[in-house]
Amino acid sequence: MITQRNINEISYKIIGCAIEVHKQLGPGLLESVYELCFIEEMRSSGLFVESQIYVPVIYKEKDLGGKLKLDLLVNDLIIVEEKAVELMIPLYKAQLLSYLKLTGLPKGLLINFHCENIKEQLVSLVTEEFAKLPKDEPEKYFIQI
């Protein structure tokens, strides 16, 4: 069962991988270089990562034939949009929100590698789908009296 806690644990792992890549490479490289290293770091950490994947554009339950291109999809749950830019603009966050809405996925991360500190430029977004999930797994064992 997928829970909010599971998704947050995966998110923390993703962020840890981003921090490690940034620690090793530093700022100033192309986004494509960070992506290669970031994917390797996440896969080495046991995460399932798909890169540059296309998802259909569904509008009012109809597939219109268009395609969205996501930077990364981790464990089929979390969209990760990467940037290597000097300035994070509101459009990047809006783009991630739109991707989340159109895919119905519960969480997204926007990570900028061109910075001094990854955590200061990190944007984490959750959707209504996330809010609908249980916070934690129900107790597996019950004691009956």
Write the CB contacts of 51 (distance below 8 Å, at least 6 apart in sequence): 35, 39, 71, 72
Q: How far is CA 122 from CA 16, 27, 62, 65, in A?
A: 12, 14, 33, 32
Tokens of 98: 């739109």
Integer Cα distance of 143 and 113 in angstroms: 49
Q: What is the pTM of this model?
A: 0.90
Q: What is the pLDDT of residue 58?
A: 83
Q: What is the pLDDT of residues 42-67, one digit of tens each?
A: 999 999 999 999 988 888 888 888 78
Say yes or no to pLDDT of 84 above 90.
yes
Say yes or no to pLDDT of 111 above 80.
yes
| Cα angle value 100/55/133 (rounded, 5°) | 35
The average pLDDT across 110-122 equals 93
Percent of the chain topping pLDDT 90: 77
Integer Cα distance of 29 and 32 in angstroms: 8
The beta strands (E) that lie in the chain are given as 49-59, 62-74, 78-83, 107-112, 123-126
Q: Which CATH class is domain 4-132?
A: alpha beta
Using 50, 70 and 90 to split pLDDT, how confident is the model at 95?
very high
Using 50, 70 and 90 to split pLDDT, how confident is the model at 17?
very high
Mean pLDDT of the chain: 92
Paired residues of 73 in beta bridges: 50, 79
Q: What is the pLDDT of residues 65-77, one digit of tens each?
A: 878 899 999 999 9
Q: Kindly report the length of the chain.
A: 145
